[in-house]
Amino acid sequence: MQYQNRKTFIKHLALIGGSLMLPDVLLAASSKRRYKVAVIDLMILKRQKLSALELTSEIGADGLEIDMGGLGDRETFDNKLADPAIRAQYLEKANALHLEFCSLAMTGFYAQSFAKRPTYQKMLQDCLDTARAMKIKVIFLPLGVQGDLVKNPELRAPIVERLKVAGKMAAKAGVVIGIETSLDAKGELQLLKEINCKHIKSYFNFSNAIKNGRDLNQELKILGRKNIIQVHATNEDGVWLENDPKIDLKKVKQTLDEMGWSGWLVIERSRDAKQPTNVKYNFTANTKYLKSIFQAG
């Protein structure tokens, strides 16, 4: 009887030990995935809020793109993550939920001018310092409305010059800055050649190609694997990804597979027009669908 009890006890210990190791096993499996799916704190209405992490977990995403906070006419971003105590809370929560931070976004430049703001280097440095402190390897920089190189070609020279400076700063910090422009793939590829820095790459956006009537898969091929750091993998709002006739995600996956690309697919929009503010409803559906295509098997 004692032998049997001892044997049962050892089995229980083994089971407990195995269950304690399970989160690490799951995290290791996640880190090896070719494609990972993330949401954006700004778009799930949790800009720089710790609760964005819990919501990301509930949605079912693998990670989160964090925003640097508002910009407006300030000298730099209104960045709560500049506080080490708040950063520590984020890192602790992400670790507990087995989530990753895929990127840090400077969305203030959607409306503000990267070409003209006098303190752009301070803004960049603040972002790079935060990224380094949180071990985030990708920065998102949209050139936005005021940096539209199709409508404002005269801004090309100052933007290229500033992006060269940004590239040197990013190299020192050990991160890559992913830019979003209004150019087509050929134009963006030429821009990257002018900048000539491996720390400045394209942050590709499905919706930019689609709304301008471009072939999504062809645009990806033109840019090429080495020039795309991350992907905003949604269209404009209206319908979910699974109901969108303008995006064939299986074909997109085939294209990315053939290119040898791997990385983060970040959900920005593709919200149902009938319930655009229902965050869990929209982002859970799009996360589930992206994973069913890109993480199948």
Domain assignment present for residue 244? The answer is no
Domain assignment present for residue 210? The answer is yes
Domain assignment present for residue 18? The answer is no
Query: How many domains in the chain?
Result: 1
Q: What CATH number is given to the structural domain containing 145?
A: 3.20.20.150
Nearest Cα neighbor of 47 from 71, 65, 67, 61 is: 67
What rounded mean pLDDT belongs to the chain?
Answer: 92
Domain assignment present for residue 190? The answer is yes
191, amino acid identity: L
Domain assignment present for residue 295? The answer is no
- Terminus-to-terminus CA distance in the chain, angstroms? 45
Is residue 99 within 8 Å of residue 53, measured between CB atoms?
yes
Contacts of 219 (CB under 8 A, 6+ apart): 184, 185, 204, 209
Domain assignment present for residue 175? The answer is yes
Contacts of 19 (CB under 8 A, 6+ apart): none
Domain assignment present for residue 69? The answer is yes
Specify the pLDDT at position 221: 98
H/E element holding 220? helix 216-223
Looking at beta carbons, which pairs linking 43-47 to residues 24 or more positions away fall under 8 Å? Answer: 43/267, 43/268, 43/269, 43/283, 44/279, 44/283, 45/277, 45/279
Specify the pLDDT at position 178: 99
Q: Which residue has the higher pLDDT, 118 or 18?
A: 118
245 falls in which pLDDT band (50, 70, 90)? very high
Containing structural domain, residue 93: 34-230
Specify the pLDDT at position 32: 76
Mean pLDDT value across residues 232-248: 96
Specify the pLDDT at position 22: 43
Domain assignment present for residue 269? The answer is no
pLDDT tens profile 67-97: 999 999 999 999 999 999 999 999 999 999 9
